[in-house]
Amino acid sequence: MAGSMYESQDLYLDPSIKYWVLFPIMIVMFLVGILRHNITTILSVNQSLSTGEVKESLAVKYGRLFIANKNYIPESTFKLRKNYWYDAYNSGKYLNDPNATANGDMLDPANMESTMTGMKKAFANLIPQYVLMSWVSYFFAGFVIIKLPFYLPTRFKEMFQRGIDTQNLDISWVSSLSWYFFNLFGLGGIFSLILGSNNSAGSAKDIAPQMQMAPNQKDRFNKLHKSLAEEVKIVEHSWALDDIEDQILIKYGKKSPVNNDKKNK
């Protein structure tokens, strides 16, 4: 065995563990991940938006673009747009449903469809995890599977060596559950290679069931529009083209960049 800096306890493991445990877990998790991705794709296909929803989300996009690029249009038209959009956002002109209130009631029929889809997606992510975890800990429990090449603090021992009853076993020897966790994180990278970066089987999403946090608050856009109204009101115009002539002249070497003091003299 390769020497290491720590006193390693050498255990001899049955090679057939390799074939019957290590690889199967990896393969199963990989396949389940792909399955999850496909199911999520199928579920998201059926989501279609109505005109109102498109309108309000595009209005938000417009607002942001406007605020970002306001300096390139002349001041008069800027003022025009500023006033128009301030009114529009405030009066909820572009909103789908101006009277919507924060709807925590997810069973409301109008919300139902999107909530259902959100929940389905969340389940599609969570259930395979729990199922696999219980499968792994049921079938492959009670023995050491692998030696980690690094040293972890002792409190991980409990988690990684679940099912193994020896107290003094080196932290490096772990049970199959920990292999499950490793796969959970490691395969995320591989999925992004294979499925493209927009995949639903990545590891970051498994850790927290984020979908359950207000999947579609009805007045999400109402709030956005209100805040955009405020932003639009505040924003000031400083014309990027104000001294463009000077810049051009300097660029072509017709004029040297003097500072204002010298010019006034």
Partner 1 sequence: MESSIPSKFEKLNVVSMMENNQTAQAIRILASLFGGFAAGIMGLTGWSGIIFYGILSVVIFFFILLKAKFQYTKYFNGIKDVLVGDLFSNFLCYVMFWTLGYALVHVYE
Partner 2 sequence: MDVIELAKPLIDGKFSSLDNIERYEILEQLIVAYLDTNEIDKAEKYLKLVKDKIKDEFSSRLQKLYGMIEEAKGNYEKAIEIYNETLKVDEVNEAVHKRLIAVNIANGNRTEAINLLNKYLEVFVSGDEDAWLQLADLYLLENQCQQAAYCIEEVILTNPKNHLYYLRYADIMCCIGRYQIASKYYCKTLDLCNDNIRALYGILYTNQYLLKSKAEDKSTSDETIKALIDLAKEQLAKLYKKSPCEEVVNEFLKQ
Residues that bind partner 1 (CB under 8 A): 1-2, 4-6, 12-13, 15, 17-18, 22, 146-151, 182-183, 185-190, 192-193, 197, 202-204, 240, 244, 247, 250-251
CA pair distance 220, 102, nearest whole angstrom: 8
- By beta-carbon proximity to partner 2, the closer residue of 67 and 119 is 67
* Binding of partner 2 by 65 (CB under 8 A): yes
* Binding of partner 2 by 30 (CB under 8 A): no
Among partner 1, partner 2, none, the one that 62 touches (CB under a kind-dependent 5 to 8 A) is: partner 2
CA pair distance 243, 18, nearest whole angstrom: 72
Among partner 1, partner 2, none, the one that 186 touches (CB under a kind-dependent 5 to 8 A) is: partner 1
Interior CA angle at 210 toward 199 and 176, to 5°? 70
* Residues 179 and 17 sit within 8 Å (Cβ to Cβ): no
- By beta-carbon proximity to partner 2, the closer residue of 70 and 218 is 70
Among 66, 89, 179, 221, binds partner 2 (CB under 8 A): 66
Among partner 1, partner 2, none, the one that 130 touches (CB under a kind-dependent 5 to 8 A) is: none
Q: What is the dihedral of CA 163, 168, 171, 177, to 10 degrees?
A: 0
Among partner 2, partner 1, none, the one that 183 touches (CB under a kind-dependent 5 to 8 A) is: partner 1
What number of other Cβ atoms are within 10 A of residue 204's Cβ?
Answer: 9
Among 12, 154, 155, 254, binds partner 2 (CB under 8 A): 254
* Binding of partner 2 by 255 (CB under 8 A): yes
* Residues 85 and 232 sit within 8 Å (Cβ to Cβ): yes
Q: 3-state SS string over 56-124?
A: HHHHHHHHHHHHHHHHHCCHHHHHHHHHHHHHHHHHCCCCCCCCCCCCCCCCCHHHHHHHHHHHHHHHH
Rounded to the nearest 10 degrees, what angle do helices 23-45 and 176-194 cross at? Answer: 50
Question: What is the DSSP code (8-state) at residue 212?
Answer: G
Scanning 121-129, 142-150, 224-232, 244-252 for contacts with partner 2 by CB under 8 A, the matching segment is: 244-252
Among 73, 122, 132, 148, binds partner 2 (CB under 8 A): 73
CA pair distance 221, 227, nearest whole angstrom: 10
Residues that bind partner 2 (CB under 8 A): 48-51, 54-55, 58-59, 61-62, 65-66, 69-70, 72-74, 77, 94, 240-241, 244-249, 251-252, 254-255
